[in-house]
Structure 1
Amino acid sequence: MHRLALATTALALLATLAACGKKEGGPTDATPATAASAPAGAASAAKAALTVTAIQPATASWARTLSANGSIAPWQESIVSAEQGGYRLAEVLVNVGDRVKRGQVLARMAVDTVQVELAQTRAALAESEATLAEAQANAERARQLQTTGAISAQQINQYLTAEKTAQARLLAQRARLQSDQLRLAKTTITAPDDGVISARLATVGAVAGNGQELFRLIRGGRLEWRAEVTAAELSQLRPGMKATLQLPDGSSTAGTVRMVAPTVDAQTRNGLVYVDLSSAQAGASSTVRAGMFSRGEFQLGATPALALPQAAVALRDGFQYVFALESQVGGNDWRVRQLKVQLGRRLGDQVEVLGGLDAQARVVAQGVGFLTDGDIVSVVSAAPAPAAAASR
């Protein structure tokens, strides 16, 4: 009986285990159903990562420019000096920044000494004229008596010699008078040309030395920009080309290339380009001043450019990328491809694409910083072409 009870218990335990095995195997048998539902899950995972607008590169005519740095300086600067020394400055009539005309009086020296010497010379000249008149009368009488024998030949020769000596002394006195008059004129310092006073060293009461600098004058008030460019860039510039300068206060001024230097500095290997700033005149009211350092651009002409908005370009690891629409995956959804591009000039919010992108490609216009290669995006509309904004 005991054995029969054990056998019955064992059969009951086996039946229980079999029932449990069927319950645990239920999900396993349902595996095909789970596999059938997998495509629906994959489609859900391929949902668009971003809603974007697409744009096509636009071809525009852009100005080709060459950037350079340089200083603004006077076109020519005249040094006004004292032509004679030893006289006191009695008047100084101009200051730095004053605009003057050719021949305008800048300063006057004390003329007392010169006027006294001039008076003495005039008196000596009058004496010489009287002496000559007497010598001429004596010589004329001697010529008349030469054939009569009333006076000796030696006396006649003395009268004729005295006449010539008196003539020479008169000429010497006239030359001295001209010299004294010139000295008197040089006591007045005048402007050699129209322009602007850029420096003044003259002081009332000072005794000017011979050749001492008293004033500096920017001739015509003309300024120029002396731009430094490399030897390779010099060949691109020609007289008559236009340039635009950016001034320190944020304003700009225009200029024209006057001359390209015929030599290159042996130390820096740079050459100078002289740009005439005809629209800017030196003066206290001008925003352009000599000595300023300025950055500018030379206009080299217009060339075609393939342009994109700056927002369509992503910068990653030191390279520039765009995201082009590669293939349509359904409806308005597209898969994007990351393309490395080479950029060139910039104009406002537009950039020039030099390589890496086909002109017919459509790219994501903005939000590219959130995309990676192979992402799916939903394209809602096309952004306006930048051609009109970028053309110059």
Structure 2
Amino acid sequence: MNIFSHKKSILITMGTGFVFLFFWWIQHPGARVESVSTAAPAALTVSVIEPQRQEWPDMVQADGSLAAWQEAVIGAETGSLRITELFADVGSVVKRGQLLARLADNSAAADVRKQEGAVIQARASLEKSQADLKRSQMAADSGALSSQKMDEYRITESIDRAALDSAEADLQSKRITLANTRVVAVDDGVISSRSALLGNVVSTGTELFRMVRQGRIEWQAELDAQQLARVQVGQPAHVRLPAGKIVNGTVRLVAPTLSTSTGRAIVYVSLAAGSVSQSGMFASGSIELAQTSALTLPESALVQRDGRNDVYVLSADGARVARRTVVTGRRMNGRVEVVSGIDVKARVVASGGAFLSDGVSVKVVEAAATKWEST
């Protein structure tokens, strides 16, 4: 037999063996399972905690707008004068007495100088009449002057004294008019609007500026009758601004009546000074009421699925977890109140619940947190 014939026989033998193995594998399907690894899936590693009983303030949620605590209108106190200078604009932070605008003061200054001359003249007339009265009294003592003439000197002195008083009052009025050509801030605050225009001739009482007194902004929360009955002056509040920032405040005033059209009342909340709140914003917030007991968990223990909140509770033997749907309430400092669904003795998976499923095997690597009862 040559080499070629020998190889051909070997191939035929191997082919026959493979065919035999193939038919045997089809007839014995159970053998295929034996070749697959039968190792159980690895248990997931979790840490568990127990719910904590804490004293939390009850909360009233509300919406409302932000407005100035008080607005001040700054207007012209003298009329028919032209605005010559402006020193403030919208957004300017000003102090009480700070110069905001100046009116033309030429005519007012001239009136002051004219009246000062009138005062000097009236004073001189009074001095003359006083001297005449003094001399007449000396003459009357010697019998050289009649009582009628003495009365004339006394009356003249009284008239000149009244004329001086009138002249001095007119001078004071002219000086006030001159001072009113300087428009100043009536209080510390922030300019919120400006209607003054350079060169405009204003009338007495014309509004030139409007300001937020002391820069204080407050939240005007709208509450219904049931909520209003639980709110008191001095309670803390937390307002979420449109940008997401939380601003703290305090209830300043509770409206004594409700609107007949809406059935709601306004609660005025003073916000912390220096916050980024601005008048005209619309914001949501909450007002803290009395303290009540709450069963709480870290927010990381909750899994949100299909609009519900779930937690995973460790079984009694500590080998598996079971899913529990809970009802949540208040949230504070990274924790959430559990209203129902678990009890205080439950051992809850602290985090990573999104990777678990009901009945899955787990391995606990961290001892359960010690339950804390608030005092």
TM-score grouping bracket, smaller chain normalisation? 0.7 to 0.9
Shift, 1:62, TM fit: 6.6
Give, in angstroms, the shift of residue 310 of structure 1.
Answer: 2.7
Matches within 5 A, 1:219-298: 219-281=213-275, 287-298=276-287
State the Cα distance separating 1:379 from its structure 2 match.
2.7
Note closer, same or farther for the CA distance 1:53–1:63 as it changes in structure 2 (3 Å cut).
farther
Cross-structure match for 1:299: 288
Contact 2:320 2:362 in 1 (8 A): no
AA partner of residue 344 (structure 1): G
Match of 1:137 among 121, 131, 135: 131
Moved more, 170-179 or 355-364: 355-364
SS of the residue corresponding to residue 361 of structure 2 reads strand
State the match for 1:43 in structure 2.
none
Kindly provide the amino acid, as one letter, of the partner of residue 353 in structure 1.
V
Letter in 1 for 2:288: Q
The answer on 1:172 being equivalent to 2:166 is: yes
Q: Matched residues in 1 for 2:368 and 2:263: separation? A: 40
Shift of the 345–92 alpha-carbon distance from structure 1 to 2, 3 Å rule, reads same
Q: Would the aligned equivalents of 1:52 and 1:367 in 2 still touch at CA under 8 Å?
A: no
Pick which of 230-239 and 66-75 moved more. 230-239
Larger radius of gyration: 1
- Equivalent pair of 1:66/1:297 in contact (CA under 8 Å): yes
Question: Displacement, 1:113?
Answer: 1.2
Amino acid at match of 1:191: A
Q: Which amino acid in 2 is paired with 1:103?
A: G
Shift of 1:340: 6.9
Aligned-partner SS, 1:280: coil
With normalisation by structure 2, the TM-score equals: 0.72
Change (3 A) 1:361 1:192: closer
Q: How many residues align?
A: 327
Give the share of equivalent positions with the same residue, in percent: 35
Distance 1:303 1:251 in 2: 28
User: Cα distance, 1:384 vs. partner?
Assistant: 6.6
5 Å matches for 1:1-392? 58-61=51-54, 63-64=56-57, 65-281=59-275, 287-300=276-289, 301=291, 303-307=293-297, 309-311=301-303, 342-346=327-331, 352-360=337-345, 366=353, 377-382=359-364
Distance in structure 1 (CA, Å) of the matches to 2:262 and 2:204: 39
State the shift of 1:351 in Å: 5.2
After superposition, what is the alpha-carbon deviation per residue over 1:67-105, rounded to whole angstroms, capped at 9, x for unaligned? 221222222211111122222112111111111111111
- Judge conservation of contact 1:314–1:322 (CA < 8 Å) in 2: no
Q: State the match for 2:31 in structure 1.
A: none
Report the AA paired with residue 71 of structure 2.
E
Q: CA deviation at 1:381?
A: 3.0
| Deviation of the 1:326 alpha carbon | 8.8
Q: Tell me how far apart the structure 2 counterparts of residues 319 and 205 of structure 1 sit (CA, whole Å).
A: 66
Unaligned runs of 5+ in 1: 1-47, 282-286, 372-376
Residues of 1 paired with 2:56 and 2:161: CA distance? Answer: 78
Q: 1:125–1:170: 8 Å Cα contact kept in structure 2?
A: yes
**Superposition deviation, residue 297 in structure 1:** 2.3
Q: CA deviation at 1:56?
A: 7.3
Aligned CA distance change for structure 1 residues 53 and 236 (closer, same or farther; 3 Å): farther
What is the CA distance between 1:209 and its match in structure 2? 1.3
SS at match of 2:274: strand
Distance in 1 between the 2:129 and 2:334 partners?
Answer: 97
What is the distance in 1 between the residues matched to 2:86 and 2:272? 30
